[in-house]
Amino acid sequence: MTSFIFSLRARRTAVALAVGTACLAAQAQDASVETTVSVGAGAIDGSKADRAIFGQYNGLRDNSVVGLLGVDYSLRNPETSAWVEFQGANLLGDTRELGLVWKKPGNWKFTADYGELVRYEPNTINTGLLGAGSSTPQVVAIAAGTGNDLNLKTKRAGLGLGFTKIISPALQLQVDVKSENKTGARPFGAFMNCLASTSSTCLAVPGLAVLMLPEPIDANHSQVEARLSYAMEKLRVSVGYYGSFYRNANSTLNPSGPFTGVADPMLALPPDNQAHHWDLSGNYDFTTSTRGTFKLGYTTASQDAGFVSAGPAANLGAKVNTTLAKVGLTSRPMPKLSLLADLRYENKDDQTPLANYNSVGTNRQLSSEKTLGKLQANWQFNSDYRGTLGADYEFIDRGVFTPSSVLSSMVPLRQKTVEGGIRAELRRRMADDLSGAISVSSSQRDGSNWLQGNPGVPGVTKVFYPASSFDLTQTVFMPTLADRQRDKIKLFADWQANEKLSLQFSAEEGRDKFSTPSAYGLQSTRMNQLGVDWGYAVNYNWALNGYLSRSGQTLNQARYAGSVMAFDNTNLAASIGVTGKATSKVHVGGSLTYVDDKSVYAQTLTASAPPTLLAGGGLPDIVYRQTALKLFANYALEKGSSVRLDFVHQHVSANDWAWGNNGTQFAYSDGSTVAQSQDQNVSFIGITYIYKLP
């Protein structure tokens, strides 16, 4: 297979883009030119631990002072209709962006953009690991908390080029190319099976170890997209191509040292892969009130990177071909009635070769067919009322189970599922200043017989009587395959209370109820959301705005031996802001925001619970709270120049028992720990001079 990768060198590309713009500027003798330059500096207080969350993406995790530089250049030539725009933002920081648009309206357009993004891992790793972030790290056993602090980060650098050509009034060609390099390291881990000759115990259990091994990242993702569009009086059609090419310079992670004494400790990393997609889409106007739409697509995705060590095949040779067909119809047969119908079919053909990668059985081929249907009718009762009725349909056929593959008898599958639903909505304009809507929906999913794996041998057996075939105290029926009843209701209102005050209200409630042959597993889920947005114009110069929202999600599951567990997540967010003109030269503003996100893991026991279980418990709560104050002031010095002052204060309180609880850190087998400051306070102040060239 022929593939290609666009090379990218960050500094060279950024300079070339800027130089190219400078050359264009030299041609602007008689054209209209506007140039704005902003220069400034910012400073931040607090330690690196205090900046862990605040400095994730702005480069202020490691730096206490940052330079600010931006440019906005625009050139318009009325004689040739040429138009050039160049923008550069945060050019001295870790998130610099450059963008160029050069076009002749109605004829052609060329675009180029370059951007960088550095993400700093908010958690600090304390470890004795040598060569962390490389593909060959060396594990060194230490006492927990006595190693070196390690702060990981990843960097993205991407270049995009685009060209659009209007060949004729009916024909247009568009081509876009993007390439992004990603380097650095991110948290990763491994569960190792140690040999007794290397370590008598791993994690206090003979033969087992859990290690923190950062994943080395050095990859490129390139994308190509092209589309040719043609329009006639009634028919509009386009043909397109999309290509994705991923290349990873690190195929494996090869740790050494204590706790890695398996025969082959290599860990596989994301392999090279590629995909090609072609499509033909368009629409046709049958009449002035009826339009049909269509789309045909074909995608082939492959992964044929070679295996590092010997195996049953030289490479996986994975290949999945996907065929897509979609048709739709919209019509307005009557002034008050509008209709919509959509039908979508997708066939995924997994042609990956089968081989004996496991001790028993081969890999699985995951072919599937999916059919989606949608019908909708809208009726305008009068100028105030409009109603909608709709029906939705989804059918999934996951194909015949691969006969040579093995499935656990405790994890049954289902070949087919079908879901049908109805929905209704009523919108009303209750007054010139008040409108609202209510919508309800209900759907039900069921499916074919469950499939049970044959114990110890390949293949599956269709189950007609689950109660006698499965051990219902241990079998896991996947919620994505289970019978499900889903109901939802939504409310919305928009109220212009007076000429100064406007409010928007929204509320939503949804419930899922699952049904399987077992009384255990996920039983039900619930979600709800309530929000209010408002704006108030105090006068011509001053305005207030804000929002208040609360959302919740609950998952209830029953476990064997009388344990009932519930996961509850609630999120509360509020904000108030103000903007205004203090004087004719001073523009000020600010906002105060608050976020409270809490996850509760509750456990209760039923009468059937054995006395050995605790009478209560569950897991500790995970709480994240953030309060942020943002203020700005802009002072106009003279025509074309101004000074802007920004101030930000952020307080974060976060605790996650996954890494530690009640002062006790979770320690990996080699003594590595992961931590984040539970209380983080940080303040930032920046000043920027903005000058518009004459």
pLDDT band (50, 70, 90) for residue 289: very high
The closest of 671, 613, 686 to 140, measured between CA atoms, is: 671
What are the beta bridge partners of residue 686? Answer: 42, 646
Looking up tokens 């300079």, which residue turns up? 15
Give 638: exposed, middle or buried? Use CB within 10 Å, 0-12, 13-18, 19+. exposed
Q: What is the pLDDT of residues 595-639, one digit of tens each?
A: 999 999 887 776 666 666 655 566 889 999 999 999 999 999 988
The closest of 565, 570, 636 to 597, measured between CA atoms, is: 570
**Largest alpha-carbon pair distance within the chain?**
90
pLDDT band (50, 70, 90) for residue 133: very high
Regarding predicted confidence, which is higher, 30 or 221?
Answer: 221
pLDDT at residue 62 tops 90: no
Residues 6+ apart with CB under 8 A from 527: 508, 509, 510, 511, 551, 552, 553, 554
**Could you give the count of Cα atoms lying within 13 Å of 599 in the half-sphere of its Cβ?**
11
pLDDT band (50, 70, 90) for residue 659: confident
pLDDT at residue 80 tops 90: no
How far apart CA 293 and CA 290 sit, in angstroms, is 10
How far apart CA 531 and CA 548 sit, in angstroms, is 6
How many other C-beta atoms can be found within 10 angstroms of the C-beta atom of residue 246? 19
Q: What is the pLDDT of residues 307-365, one digit of tens each?
A: 888 788 999 999 999 999 999 999 999 999 999 999 999 999 999 999 998 888 999 99
Query: Average per-residue pLDDT in the chain?
Result: 90
Share of the chain above pLDDT 70, in %: 90
Q: What is the pLDDT of residue 665?
A: 86
Task: Calculate mean pLDDT across residues 550-557.
Answer: 95
Q: What is the pLDDT of residue 577?
A: 98
Residue 115, both tokens: 């951007």
SS3 call for 384: coil
The closest of 270, 253, 176, 255 to 219, measured between CA atoms, is: 270
| The total number of residues written for the chain in this structure | 694
Residues 6+ apart with CB under 8 A from 694: 640
pLDDT at residue 693 tops 50: yes
pLDDT band (50, 70, 90) for residue 200: very low
Q: What is the pLDDT of residue 614?
A: 54
The closest of 522, 528, 526, 529 to 511, measured between CA atoms, is: 526
Helix H or strand E segment including 184:
strand 171-186
How far apart CA 470 and CA 453 sit, in angstroms, is 10
CB 512 within 8 A of CB 525: yes
Q: Sign of torsion, CA 58 59 62 63?
A: negative
CB 291 within 8 A of CB 271: no
Regarding predicted confidence, which is higher, 41 or 13?
Answer: 41
How far apart CA 73 and CA 507 sit, in angstroms, is 44
Please state which of the ranges 87-91, 457-461, 473-477 shows the lowest mean pLDDT: 473-477
pLDDT at residue 196 tops 80: no
Angle among Cα 272, 273, 275 to the nearest 5 degrees reads 160
Q: What is the pLDDT of residues 141-177, one digit of tens each?
A: 999 989 999 999 999 999 999 999 999 999 999 999 9
What is the pTM for the complete model shown?
0.88
Task: Calculate mean pLDDT across residues 402-419.
Answer: 92
Q: What is the pLDDT of residue 618?
A: 67
Q: What is the pLDDT of residue 147?
A: 92
Task: Calculate mean pLDDT across residues 490-504.
Answer: 94
What are the beta bridge partners of residue 537? Answer: 543
Task: Calculate mean pLDDT across residues 87-103.
Answer: 95
Residue 651, amino acid: H
pLDDT band (50, 70, 90) for residue 13: very low
Residue 341, amino acid: A
pLDDT band (50, 70, 90) for residue 414: very high
Buried b (16+ CB within 10 A) or exposed e, 163-185: bbebeeeeebebebbbbbbbbbb
Regarding predicted confidence, which is higher, 159 or 676?
Answer: 159
Residue 538's region, left for phi above 0, alpha for psi from -120 to 50, else beta, is alpha
Q: What is the pLDDT of residues 24-35, one digit of tens each?
A: 444 545 568 999
Residue 304's region, left for phi above 0, alpha for psi from -120 to 50, else beta, is alpha
How far apart CA 447 and CA 30 sit, in angstroms, is 71
Buried b (16+ CB within 10 A) or exposed e, 586-612: ebbbebbbebbbebbbbeebeeebeee
Q: What is the pLDDT of residue 1?
A: 38
Q: Quote the strand ranges of 432-500, DSSP E.
A: 434-447, 450-453, 460-462, 483-496
Residue 523, both tokens: 């039983």
